[in-house]
Amino acid sequence: MLALTAAGGPRIAALNEAAEAAGLAPGEPLADARAKAGDLQVRAVDEAADDAALRRLALWATRYTPTASPWNAENGADGFFLDIEGAAHLFGGEEKLLADLSSRLEYFGLPARFAVADTSGAAWALSRFHPAPCTVLPSGEEARALKPLPIEALRLSPETCTTLRRLGFKSVGLLLDKPRAPFAARFPAELLRRLDQALGRLDEPLVPIVAPPVYHCLRYLLEPILTQEAVVALARRLMHTLVHVLTRDDVGARGLRLCLYRVDGAVETVDIGLTLPTRNVAYVARLIDLKLEAVAAMQEASFGFEAVGLAVTRAEPIPARQNELIEDADDAGRNERSAALIDTLRQRLGPQSVRRFTAIASHLPERAEALAPVTGEVPPAPRPAPEQEAEKPRPLLILPHAEPTEVTALVPDGPPRRFRWRGVTYEIAGAQGPERIGAEWWRLANIPDHSRESGNSALDEEKKLGPRLRGDERRHAPTRDYYLVEDADGRRFWLYREGLYERETASARWFVHGLFA
Partner 1 sequence: MAQPTALSMMRNRAEVAAKLRRLLPKIQALRNAPAIPFGVAAIDHYLPQGGLAGGGLHEFVPEAGATPAAFGFIVALLARLSQPHPLFLVLPSYGRRDFGRPYGHGLSALGLDPRRLILVETAHRNETLWALEEALRSRAPSAVVGAIDKLDLKSSQRLQLAATDAGLPLLLLRPAQNLESSAAATRWRVGARQAARDRFGLFVRPRWHLQLERCRNGRPGEWLVEYDHVAHRFSLAAALADHALSRSAGEKPLRQAHRS
What values do phi and psi take at 349, rounded to 5? -95, -5
Only segment of 44-52, 59-67, 81-89, 374-382 that touches partner 1 (CB under 8 A): 374-382
| Whole-number Å distance between alpha carbons of 293 and 421 | 43
Are the CB atoms for 373 and 357 separated by under 8 Å?
Answer: no
Taking CB under 8 A as the criterion, the residue among 384, 412, 414, 438 binding partner 1 is: 384
If we measure between CA atoms, which residue out of 222, 207, 213 comes closest to residue 308? 222
Number of residues that bind partner 1 (CB under 8 A): 54
Partners of 369 in the β-ladder: 359
**Applying CB under 8 A, does 357 fall inside the site for partner 1?**
yes
Site for partner 1 in 123-182 (CB under 8 A): none
| Whole-number Å distance between alpha carbons of 1 and 29 | 12
CB nearer to partner 1: give 354 or 469: 354
| Whole-number Å distance between alpha carbons of 88 and 53 | 25
Site for partner 1 in 64-83 (CB under 8 A): none
**Applying CB under 8 A, does 436 fall inside the site for partner 1?**
no
Helix axes 120-129 and 190-199, enclosed angle (nearest 10): 90
Only segment of 3-11, 205-213, 365-373, 443-451 that touches partner 1 (CB under 8 A): 365-373
CB of 437 to partner 1, least distance (A): 13
**DSSP string for 483-502:** EEEEETTS-EEEEEEES-BT
C-alpha angle with apex 414: 411 to 418, nearest 5 degrees? Answer: 85
**Applying CB under 8 A, does 6 fall inside the site for partner 1?**
no
Only segment of 16-24, 79-87, 157-165, 383-391 that touches partner 1 (CB under 8 A): 383-391
What values do phi and psi take at 313, rounded to 5? -85, -25
Only segment of 79-87, 98-106, 199-207, 488-496 that touches partner 1 (CB under 8 A): 488-496
**Applying CB under 8 A, does 438 fall inside the site for partner 1?**
no
**DSSP string for 86-125:** TTGGGGTSHHHHHHHHHHHHHHTT----EEE-SSHHHHHH
CB of 291 to partner 1, least distance (A): 15
**Applying CB under 8 A, does 399 fall inside the site for partner 1?**
yes
CB nearer to partner 1: give 399 or 447: 399
**Applying CB under 8 A, does 516 fall inside the site for partner 1?**
yes
CB nearer to partner 1: give 176 or 372: 372
**Applying CB under 8 A, does 395 fall inside the site for partner 1?**
yes
Letter string b/e over residues 221-248, b meaning 16 or more CB atoms within 10 A of that residue's CB: eeeebeeeebbbebbbbbbebbbebbee
CB nearer to partner 1: give 205 or 386: 386
By three-state DSSP, how is residue 217 classified? strand
CB nearer to partner 1: give 219 or 491: 491
**Applying CB under 8 A, does 383 fall inside the site for partner 1?**
yes
Binding site for partner 1 (CB under 8 A): 328, 334-335, 337-338, 340-342, 344-345, 348-349, 352-357, 359, 365, 368-369, 371, 374, 378-381, 383-384, 389-390, 393-400, 429-430, 432, 484, 486, 488-492, 514-517
